[in-house]
Amino acid sequence: MTEQIEELRVSNDAMGDAEELRRRVHEEGYLFFRKLQNPDKLWDLRRQMLNRMRPWLVAGTDPIDGIADISMQCTEGDLEYPDVYHEVYKLEAFHRIAHEPEVIDIMEKVIGGPVFPHPHKVARLWFPKHTAHTTPIHQDFVHFQGNFNTYTCWAPVGDCPIELGGLAVLPGSHKVNAVMDHHFSLGAGSLCIHTDELSGEWHSTDYEIGDTLIFPALMVHQALPNLTEDRLRVSLDNRYQKLGDTLSEHMLEPHLNIFSNLTWEAVYRDWENDDLKYYWKKLDNPTIPRDLNYSEKGFAEALELAKTGDERTRIAMNRAMRRDPNSPQAKAAREALALA
């Protein structure tokens, strides 16, 4: 796919012009900035994150290099993934980076007023040689919901050339102004848009640390596969919306807490500062329940595919059975596999 990728448009020239930034988001659906975020702070964050990820790294290597032990491959749907991921998640610096002034300033220009950073921060930690599990083509709204004017702010924690698997966007795809049909996928999030529903050229780049990509919830995007031999790809997904707009209740919870019962008390236990603890409780943002229809539709599709012997769905069914053997999903998964 890499030969079909065009370069992202760089918007550093418009950083001080809020009206122009909003025009570009309206027309193209994204903003890309070189070195928007402080590289030194991100290098420090990278070292902290990779130190917590030592169980996934080759022994004896410098953690900051992110040299993966391939035998430890796992991803977000796997039962063992939160064992390491949630140790990273407890880092104060990981949460604080989303509140840095340079990011808040740009987001306020884009959104046109005071912004609310979601407490539900996300790290993406992706193994090499695990390409079947690459984040598929999708819109963020199906996962994070709330309102269409929620923005994702994606940044690599380290340099991220094309072969390491950065983000790619489909310019103008947000203008559909609706949630597209999503289907079962083995990749992160378990939902994808089929390519026959799309047209246009994908845009990405060789990202460097500090670079930042911003786009709204209906923008169609995907991760590129990590084609390196042995390097983990580490990145941040932080989300922002206008203060006072509606958000989904689950965006006030730690990411992937459903897999390990991670609480904010556990996240905050070793923090040195208190200013970001429960900060959202002081702000007025109406909430709505999470809409499970998207994930339930994807799982129903997976069940039907599993009955045909589809190997991708066999992996998904086994994950469901491991996570909670007594759940209705696990029972349906066992029944589907029995029919294959």
DSSP letter string, 183-241: EE-SSTTSEE--GGG--S--EE--B-TT-EEEEETT-EEEEPP--SSSB-EEEEEEEEE
Summarize pLDDT for 147-171 with one digit per residue, the tens: 999 999 999 999 999 999 999 999 9
Three-class secondary structure of residue 61 per DSSP: coil
> Model confidence over 156-209: pLDDT tens digits?
999 999 999 999 999 999 999 999 999 999 988 899 999 988 999 999 999 999
* Average pLDDT over all residues of the chain: 95
pLDDT at res. 224:
97
100-143 pLDDT, tens digit per residue, is 999 999 999 999 999 999 999 999 999 999 998 999 999 999 99
pLDDT of residue 4: 83
Percent of the chain with pLDDT over 90: 90
- State yes or no: pLDDT of 1 exceeds 60: no
Q: What is the pLDDT of residue 260?
A: 85
pLDDT band at 2 (very low <50, low <70, confident <90, very high): very low
In eight-state DSSP terms, residue 245 is S
Q: How far apart are CA 138 and CA 179, in angstroms?
A: 10
Residue labelled with tokens 């500090």: 210
- Rounded to two decimals, the pTM is 0.96
pLDDT at 258: 85
What average pLDDT does range 283-304 have in this prediction? 94
Mean pLDDT along residues 309-333 = 91
**Per-residue confidence (pLDDT) for residue 3, from 0 to 100:** 53
Residue 324's pLDDT is: 87
Domain with CATH 2.60.120.620 in the chain: 2-289
Contacts of 16 (CB under 8 A, 6+ apart): none
Closest CA to 122 of 107, 144, 106, 102: 144
For the chain, the residue count is 340
Q: What is the distance between the alpha carbons of residues 267 and 33, in angstroms, rounded to a whole number?
A: 30
What per-residue confidence (pLDDT) applies to 77?
Answer: 87
Residue 211 confidence (pLDDT) above 50: yes
Q: Which stretch of DSSP H or E encloses residue 138?
A: strand 138-139
**Cα–Cα separations (whole angstroms), residue 166 to 138, 199, 237:** 15, 20, 12
- Residue showing tokens 């707009």: 245
The predicted pLDDT at position 188 comes to: 85
Decide which of 3.90.45.10, 2.160.20.10, 3.40.1190.20, 2.60.120.620 is the CATH code for 2-289: 2.60.120.620
Chain centroid to Cα 204, Å, comes to: 16
Evaluate if residue 58 carries a pLDDT over 50. yes
Residue 144 has pLDDT above 50, yes or no: yes
Looking at per-residue confidence, does 11 or 259 come out higher?
Answer: 11
Alpha carbon 295 to chain centroid distance?
Answer: 16
The pLDDT of residue 340 is 78
